[in-house]
Chains A and B, each alone.
Chain A
Amino acid sequence: MLQEEITTGFQFFPFGILLLSVFASAIYFILSLTRAFPSGRSWIGLSVILAGINLLVALIIFLYIPTGSSLSYQIPWISWDGKSILYFSLLLSPISLLMGLVVTFIAFMVQIFSLSYMSEDRAKGRYFSFLHLFVVAMLGIVYSGNLLQIFVFWELVGLCSFFLIGFWNEKEIAAKAANKAFIVNRIADAGFVLGLGMCWMHFGTFEIKALQLTGIDLVPASILIPMGIGFLLGAMGKSAQFPFQIWLPDAMQGPSPVSALIHAATMVAAGIYLLARIHFLLPLPILDSMIWLGAVTAFMGAFAAWTSYDIKRVLAFSTISQLGFMLIGMGTSFPASGMFHLITHAFFKAGLFLIAGAIIHHFHHVLSHDKDAQDMRNMYGLSSHKWLMFSYLICAAALMGLPFFSGFLSKESILLALWDWSHKSNSWLPLALAFFTVAITAFYMSRQAALLFASRPEQGQHAKTGHFGWQMMLPILLLAGLSLFTLVSWQPLLIEAWLWTNLSLEISLARVNPLPHHVGITFTSIGMVILGALFGYRKGLKEINTQFQQKNHWLFRLADQNWMMDRLHEKFTIKGILKSSKSTAAIDKGIDQGLIALVKTGVVIGHISAWWDFRVIDGTVNTLAIASKWLGQKLKGIQSGNILAQLRWLWVFLLGLLLLVIW
């Protein structure tokens, strides 16, 4: 258990960040409504300064709270009867402090980058507004000490993601991608609600602190398993795990800086972060299934990345794959490895996306308008921008997991933890998949490197074109710098340095064993990376030389269509729902017509009864009246004194009586 730090007044710092960003978001939103957005740079500059202040405050919070201790603070939110049902609460502990730093840092970088990237866009106000709102929401998740509060901000990051993916919503494809992202996430969120419901049902609280104190030793599996499934589903949606990964490639319709911040570094990692926060609530079967799911996702994502020519799409698939690795890490006995990879990945992947953004921005100006600026087949002459190339190579090397880069250390920690798990559970398939994925990762990254930077025949005609402003260079260079091993430790091959210690302090406490080291694992993974990289580079060169004539191989198609996932989704989920909605509409019409028929029958019966009333009943009465009149006239004879006639009537009467008796 972490040491509890009690300081009053300090909570104003985290609240300060949140309020400042809410304020910034509101200002830019209002500015966006005025249509005439102030054209001067100063308005956007203010936004960047605010993002910088955020980073500074996050740093102060990080430095203020000593390593290994935590600070919590609560404000009642939903309450009745004098007792609070739900709190708005803060839990500042090592992982949230680190995550807060990562989020504010990358947000700051993205803000600087956007100065130049979005300078020509008319809807800047809206853009910066949602960027700030995203930071509020993300920090809301990160600093939260309450599961329901996490859910609230979880939905809010989804909202920001929706509006930023669909930022250029005049493109129908962007609007559709935004919808897809939101709805797929919403399906997973239904799982989150299940987790919350189970948690409330059994524990009656959402406070992470209180849950930690309760412990789960005595909780029956009938509670823990559905709850774990629920939270895991939620995490799988946000973190694009199989089968929810379909939304992430489409999400690349958003502006590239957004992809860097939201769909690569921070929001998509929120699922992993959630699992880290509630790791103590997850029972063993859930943890094991996380390893399998993670391995499958990692492999599927990497495999789908090797064919695309869209620079961002490759990176999107790579993000899916890396998130799979993180999930593997969370499932092992060393969940710190998952968080570890999350943090290193945030830097190098954000770097890669910003580089992609810079390249796309560049080709938007260079290429004629009918050509796609995201298509790597159209990209040449980039190698003349040496700083860009080297930044790219550093980030790519970190992603592949080459020694001396941050990604190597974090990936190594996951592989070692997975090896430990395989050993214990005696199932080796996830490990094999992971190794294979490492090779494919190196393959697609070096293919991309070749496509982007290798010299091409047409290069000779174009001298160095374009110019990148400092607003683009600075964040890219910083992020590339943070992709080196120095981020993690001063010793290039040491995993257990400050970052690891800090993370394991919080989420590996129950399992005090040190990470097992195995030279075989390290060498195999390095070997895989080198092998993959060589083949990938060759593949890239070959594609350039053959003028991108792809063979229509089934493996190629499988990868190109993301394992047919989209088609399956289209065919089963969407068509299924639409079909059932059509049939319910038909049922509704049926109910309606049935009722109308009922009412009509009533009306018809009414008419019949009216007819009956008029003809039969009234008629009978009338007939009777007429008959009695006639009879009366006839019967007058009885009293007429004619004795014979009277006798005749007597006979009739007696006969009738007789008949009645016999009958």
Chain B
Amino acid sequence: MKEHILSIIIFLPLISAILTLMLPSENKMLLRRFALFSTFFSLVLSLILIFSLSKWPADGLSYLPDWNFQRLEQHAWILLDLGNFGKLSITYLVGLDGLNAGMVLLSAIVLFIGVIASWKIEKNLKGYFALYFLLAGSIYGCFLSLDFFLFYLFFEFMLLPMYFLIGLWGGPRKEYAAIKFFLYTLSGSLFILIVMIGLYLSVIDPVLTAVEIGLVPDVANVNAEHIQQVHRQLSKGLIPKEKLVHTFNMLAMMDTKNFIPGSVLSILGGANWGGHSPRMIAFLLLFLGFIIKLPAVPFHTWLPDAHVEAPTPISVVLAGILLKVGAYGLLRIPLGIFPEGIQQFAFPIAILGLISLIYGSLNALAMKDLKKLIAYSSVAHMGFVLLGISAQNAEGLQGAIYMMFSHGLISSMLFLIAGVLYDRTHDRMIASYSGLSHRMPAFTIMVIIAFFASFGMPGFAGFIAEILVFLGIFTVAGELYPLWLPILCTLGLVLSAAYYLWTLQRMFFGTFWIKPELAEASLKDLTTREYSMLLPLAIAIFIFGIFPNLFLELSTESVNNLVEIIQEQGGKNLAAILKLLGR
């Protein structure tokens, strides 16, 4: 049981989806309660997982001896003999480390809150929750997979339930938003697919290859010695082609010794495409694929539409988790596998982050629709993630991961707030309200918490993230990029305060007034159900703002590993590539 906890987390929602379909569709309360129970169980599981982290350290890791995984589960899945093309291996490999531990926790929290927020949905509830669970399962799968194929499978599969959830339960322009979301994300994942195939052609699984060439009788007995032997033989070209086991294993991809010499993405004798290294191009393609999902300007225009049209709980999941899939993918795949890319492109990536930050904030300032404003503020916050990544030091990466987590909590709260208002009046326009604080004081307090947390008020989780990112980018200013870049980034602090406070002043302060067409009587203060979704988030935002170490301890080790890989391996790779290109 214990060793399968990751799989349980992934498959529990998928099983729940099937169970949901078996429940009677007339009994809506039962459906809701079942969904609540199932997501709560996932939450408990992930809490157990997070709090027992150091107790069951993973073992049997021959791929990346320096990288510590807390849990690792591997099963053979597909092994095909392709004759002259070697062998194809796809494994079911899931693992937990510092990069995804926080994301799993975040997903569990947000998905649970999302069910509470879905309480008011009446239309085809059975289908709704079945899709919701499918989405949940693929989210967990995406965060936990360490096999590229498996990751890609979940990554793509996420689109399907999301498309229907927006397209069937959404607002007036739901079809447009759904198709836009689908097309954008799909085109992003095409770039990822290309690189995935390139990687498959270039990388071998040293463990399976060792068995194949007869070094050891079976996988269980493989040790570091054998892997070294495989690497030696591989570099000398001693292994015949048909004995090579090509793999999608991301851990194998992170070690440059597993690349077949002379293959497309290999460092040694890799191809030279008109003065460009395929590895750099692969990095850029992956990067492009993930920043569409993130999203970064100028690939962000699907986000406001998807958010505005999606029903509240789906907006919450979208902003709270799905954006982080993009960010997490960036950290795990391009940074881990092509660490030289981030060294080479730190400056352009930082510029992209800066543009997202400023451009997103300026757009938020211009928005008249509360939900759109929040959507653009998400774009701005993802700019911080890019900036933290571009700094590629411990502060920057920790800041980026902290931003992913804190933004997940805060943006969920923000979208719930927009939902609370929309439920009452079916109007989200800022200009339709004034002085709401006099009618809905408790709601106003929640709004203030969410707004202030989002623009980085100390005491809330967002501040820790922002300050870490700033420390990160200032530390490398002068080396990776000029000092004006971090200075311009501080403008983001001003703009975010400006759009939130301006909204607060217009909607919540002043004398009470609402647009005459709206039903004034509906403006009741928060209900118990709304408290039960807003309060836990507010408390979590507060706790992670006061005790940052609670979260930082989770990610520290992996971040240090990643920094090491970027700085050492990345430096070596970059030098090798430049030599190869004759520069």
Contacts and interface: CB of A to CB of B under 8 A. Distances in A.
A176 interface: yes
A80 interface: yes
B494 A183 contact: yes
Nearest to A175: B509
Interface size of A as a range: 35 or more
Contacts of B510: 169-172, 175
A174 B504 CA distance: 13
B491 interface: yes
A36 interface: no
A153 B459 CA distance: 9
A206 to B, nearest CB: 10
B509 A170 contact: yes
Interface in A47-103: 76-81, 85
A78 B437 CA distance: 35
Contacts of B467: 148, 193, 196
B474 A172 contact: no
A145 B277 CA distance: 50
A194 interface: yes
A169 B474 contact: no
A179 B464 CA distance: 23
B501 A183 contact: yes
A577 interface: yes
A578 interface: yes
B394 interface: yes
Contacts of A183: 494, 497-498, 501
Contact of A595 (B301, B473, B475): B301
A608 interface: no
Contact of A201 (B366, B477, B504, B549): B477
Interface in B438-471: 438, 441-442, 445, 452, 457-459, 463-464, 467-468, 470-471
Interface in A100-114: none
Contact of A193 (B395, B437, B493): B493
B438 to A, nearest CB: 7
A159 B458 CA distance: 10
Interface centre among B298, B486, B501 (most CB of A within 10 A): B501
B365 interface: yes
A649 interface: no
Interface stretch (A308-316, A523-531, A583-591): A583-591
Contacts of B490: 190-191, 193-194
A186 B553 contact: no
B483 A80 contact: no
Contacts of B493: 186, 189-190, 193
Interface residues of B, number: 57
A81 B564 CA distance: 13
B494 A186 contact: yes
A156 B463 CA distance: 12
Contacts of A581: 362-363, 365-366
Contacts of B511: 170, 172
B363 A85 contact: no
A152 interface: yes
B301 A580 contact: no
Interface string B261-285: 0000000000000000000000000
Interface string A167-207: 00111101110110011001101110110111011000000
Contacts of A582: 366
A580 B362 contact: yes
Given A79-B549, A169-B509, A201-B477, A155 B457 contact: yes
A33 B474 CA distance: 42
B502 A179 contact: yes
A187 B458 contact: no
Of the candidates A156, A175, A176, the one having the most CB atoms from chain B within 10 angstroms of its own CB is A175
B549 A155 contact: no
Interface in A551-596: 577-578, 580-582, 584-585, 587-588, 591-592, 595
A591 B474 contact: no
A599 B183 contact: yes
A166 interface: yes
A127 interface: no
Given A80-B553, A186-B494, A226 B301 contact: no
Nearest to A151: B458
B306 to A, nearest CB: 12
A171 B559 CA distance: 49
Contact of A198 (B301, B441, B474, B549): B474
A226 B471 CA distance: 15
A186 B497 contact: yes
B338 interface: no
B457 A159 contact: yes
Interface of B: 183, 298, 301, 359, 362-363, 365-367, 394-395, 398, 435, 437-438, 441-442, 445, 452, 457-459, 463-464, 467-468, 470-471, 473-475, 477-478, 483, 486-487, 490-491, 493-495, 497-498, 501-502, 504-505, 509-511, 548-549, 552-553, 556, 559-560
21 contacts: A33-B441, A77-B549, A78-B468, A78-B549, A80-B398, A85-B395, A148-B467, A170-B509, A182-B497, A183-B494, A183-B501, A190-B490, A193-B467, A196-B471, A200-B471, A200-B474, A201-B477, A226-B483, A578-B365, A584-B366, A595-B301
Given A175-B505, A182-B497, A584-B362, 5 more contacts: A179-B502, A196-B470, A200-B474, A584-B359, A592-B301
